[in-house]
Amino acid sequence: MKKIWIALILLSVVGCSAVRSQTMPIAKESASAGEGQSVTFKGKALALEGTGIKVGDRLPAAVLAANDLSPVNLAETGGKVRIISVVPSLDTPVCEEQTHALSERNGGLDKEVQLITVSMDLPFAQKRFSKEAKIGNVLFLSDYKGAEFGRSYGLLIQPLHLLSRAVLVVDKENVVRHLQVVPEITELPDLEAAMQAAKGLL
């Protein structure tokens, strides 16, 4: 487990923009969320904690912090189709690429679909990231307080206290219509599949 910690720390200090041009693998499969399930980091199994969410479930209540520290309950954000992109840490290459792809390569969906990124990063770090990346069409929410989102959705990686990489598509009635929990967290989610699912709900 010590080696996993070291690897994650190394990822966090790598210059993100330097690797954005490289081709990153895109996962086509999905793991399951929740207690008893796991994802991998470079092949090392990492256990998930919490109540597993699945397609067809109503969006669980989970209070996160916006950039101004105001509370946002995901279960109260209905009325629009949403794509919720979940990343372990914005200051890592794969997470940065995932967030840029959501923001910049959504084919105009951001005009009708709410784009949300959730991570454990502090709200101030999310605000800095969005400003430096010039991303204004994504709502950044932080799960740093108590990991309520991670536990409610079954996406909390223990003992690292990070969120597993995932993407959800939620309809206007707060029902999960698409879910991919990326089995190997060094790979990207299939955002194209998520965007197609969102288009089908408009």
Distance CA(148)–CA(53), nearest Å, equals 13
Domain layout of the chain by residue ranges = 2-199
- Amino acid sitting at position 72: V
Superfamily of domain 2-199 in the CATH hierarchy: Glutaredoxin (3.40.30.10)
Residue 161 corresponds to which tokens in the numbers above?
Answer: 């206290």
Active site residue 95: yes
Q: How many CB atoms are located within 10 Å of the residue 13 CB? A: 9
pLDDT band of residue 19 (cuts 50, 70, 90) is very low
Identify the pLDDT of residue 22.
Answer: 54
| 17, pLDDT greater than 90 | no
Helices 191-199, 93-104: crossing angle, 10 deg rounding = 30
Residue 163 corresponds to which tokens in the numbers above?
Answer: 């969120």
Distance CA(138)–CA(144), nearest Å, equals 18
Q: pLDDT digits over 52-77, tens only?
A: 999 999 999 999 999 999 999 998 88
Residue 156 corresponds to which tokens in the numbers above?
Answer: 């909390």
Instruction: Calculate the alpha carbon distances from 129 to 11, 36, 92, 100, 137 in Å.
Output: 16, 33, 11, 11, 13
- Amino acid sitting at position 149: F
| 122, pLDDT greater than 80 | yes
Of residues 76 and 143, the one with the higher pLDDT is 143
**Pair 35, 111: CB distance under 8 Å:** no
Identify the pLDDT of residue 5.
Answer: 45
Q: pLDDT digits over 178-198, tens only?
A: 999 999 999 999 999 999 999
Identify the pLDDT of residue 79.
Answer: 87
Distance CA(5)–CA(164), nearest Å, equals 15
Over residues 144-172, the mean pLDDT reads 94
9-13, 57-61, 138-142, 158-162: which has the minimum mean pLDDT?
9-13
Catalytic residue among 59, 95, 125, 201: 95
Over residues 138-157, the mean pLDDT reads 95
